[in-house]
Structure 1
Amino acid sequence: MRIVVTNCNTTQEMTAEIVRGARTAAGPGTTVTGLTPAWGPESAEGWLDSYLSATAVLDTLRTYREPYDAVVMAGFGEHGREGARELVDVPVVDITEAAAHLACLLGRRYGVVTTLERSCGQIEDSLETAGVGRNCAAVVGTGLGVLDLADTGRTRAAFVTAAERARQAGAEVLVLGCAGMTGLQREVGEKVGLPVVDGVTAAVKLAESLVSLGLTTSRAGSWARPLPKRRVWRGPGERPPTPGR
């Protein structure tokens, strides 16, 4: 089985870290390949970054020519998952949805611990769109930027502090709200005394399950393919199609 994991930013070091986490969850015979957009934000930390990132990730998938069996989108709360499901013929698993769905199997309410406070509203909207928002007790920021997560000692301390706030809000399970936090779940879980779900590893296992079951995206309704005559705007060097043509 071949899974591609798309980073939502252009930082190669973060892609490598995400892939390492994904490979710890992958079963025997599953290969994991990381894709880093050639353009876009260095770190996705807000609405504008997210929309630019979504376009860059979709463009990366559109031009990737190697065969693969599933896509894991490693951008927590980022846009683009619906477009990816319309674009490709294999299962697409977003780490935001994956982590929330697994958290709902472990407790009645979950809390998300993420990076900057300004990301919280975007994550809340993403969870609502995915249909898992009603079980979310709180989305709490650590005050750390995405690229600050390389400082693991500082990240652990900030996560534990934010996790306590989520627990006080009623969370029975915690979710790591950034792909760059992958690998922290066991250590932090022991400190806070709650199950901690990492979206990257959760998404890999769900992607493997969908492929093994022979399931992929429905083409009835929401993610039906566009009409063949529709012309796709291919990038900033091309003019967008005239409406109606």
Structure 2
Amino acid sequence: MREPAMLRLKVINPNTSQAMSQQMAHSLQRQLARDVHLEVLTAEHGAPSIETAVEEAMAVVALLALIARDREGLLETPPADGYLLACFGDPGLEAARELSPVPVIGIAQAAMHMATLAAPSFAIVTSMTSTLPMSEQLLERYAMRPLCKALLACDVPVLALSEARTPPAALLESCEHARASGAGSIVLGCAAMGPLRDAIASEIGLPVVDPLLAGRDLLLTLMRQPAVARTMQAGEVKPLSGVFAQGLAAL
């Protein structure tokens, strides 16, 4: 009997924190199918965490450069069969889908859909107040606004969340407010919150969605069903100039 072909799933951490990339790899390896090879790529340009619109804009260029280099075979491993954008702002999602011939999933979109399978409504608890407009825009873009009972920020910085071993009091307080809003489930609005999911769920008593795991599992479903995988290939490439003159892969 022939062994199934190995699926290559590449996770793109669009911030520059190697520690966060290692944490993501550890979390995502849990209950991973034997036929999946998982690799986490870290942005080479930008900020160590993404909490503002400027940082998000820089992250888009950095993650597109990684995808371009991967598609052109410039990385150490073969190109991916699917990409997971591991930032809750889903930076550059549509652009990444234009650039990639294989499925691309953003963890925010995946987490919202997963939450609606667990309960009729959900609330999002994210990191900093500065990220709320980004999440609000995503709710509108994904037509999820009517299903979201509350959008809350705990105002614990992303890097602090990534180092936390137990849920900070401010995060639990925001989750309590989310439950009080009438939401049936809670979406953790930051990739760094994932390792805290089980402790939060035990304390709050609602389904809690880890966006990284939701993104991984929905992406794998698309990777195994290429007939339904969404691709949005870009049209003719125009001549580029300045820092883009040699193409994204050269960045």
Same fold? TM cut 0.5: yes
Q: Where do residues 89-100 of structure 1 align in structure 2 (5 Å cutoff)? A: 89-100=101-112
Task: Give the 3 Å change call, closer, same or farther, for CA 232–67 of structure 1 in structure 2.
Answer: same
Q: Distance in 1 between matches of 2:240 and 2:174?
A: 43
Partner of 1:18: 24
Q: For each residue in 1:98-156, what CA deviation from the matched residue of structure 2 results, as whole angstroms up to 9, or x when unmatched?
A: 00001011111101111111111111112221222321111111111111113425644
Aligned length: 234
1:158 CA displacement: 2.5
Task: State the shift of 1:157 in Å.
Answer: 2.6
* Kept in 1: contact 2:167–2:200 (CA 8 A): no
1:9–1:43 Cα contact (<8 Å) kept: yes
Contact 1:26 1:204 in 2 (8 A): no
Whole-angstrom distance in 2 between the partners of 1:185 and 1:109? 18
What is the aligned counterpart of 2:65 among 55, 59, 64?
Answer: 59
1:102 matched residue in structure 2: 114
Map 1:1-245 to 2 at 5 A. Answer: 1-64=7-70, 65=73, 66-153=78-165, 155-214=167-226, 215-218=228-231, 223-228=232-237, 230-232=238-240, 236=243, 238=245
Answer whether contact 1:109 1:172 (CA < 8 A) is retained: yes
Distance 1:239 1:204, change over 3 A: closer
Q: Any idea what the Cα deviations from partners look like across 1:39-80, whole Å, max 9, x if unmatched? A: 111211111111111111111111122321110000002420
Please give the alpha-carbon distance, in whole angstroms, between the structure 2 residues aligned to 1:205 and 1:172: 21
Name the stretch that deviates more: 201-210 or 128-137.
128-137
AA partner of residue 66 (structure 2): T
For residues 223 and 201 of structure 2, what CA distance do their matches in structure 1 show? Answer: 30
SS of the residue 1:72 aligns to: strand
Cα deviation 1:2-30 (Å, max 9, x = unaligned) = 10000120000001111111111422221
Q: 1:51 & 1:153 partners in 2: Cα distance?
A: 30
Unaligned runs of 5+ in 2: 1-6
C-alpha separation in 1, matches of 2:120 and 2:48: 36
Q: Output the TM-score relative to the length of structure 1.
A: 0.89
How far apart are the structure 1 equivalents of 2:221 and 2:166? Answer: 35
RMSD of aligned residue pairs (Cα, Å): 1.9
Query: What is the distance in 1 between the residues matched to 2:243 and 2:49?
Result: 21
Contact 2:239 / 2:245 at 8 angstroms: preserved in 1? no
- Percent of aligned pairs with the same amino acid: 29
For residues 18 and 27 of structure 1, the distance between their equivalents in structure 2, rounded to whole angstroms, comes to: 16
Aligned to 1:243: none
TM-score (norm 2): 0.87
Gapped runs of 5+ residues in structure 1?
Answer: 241-245
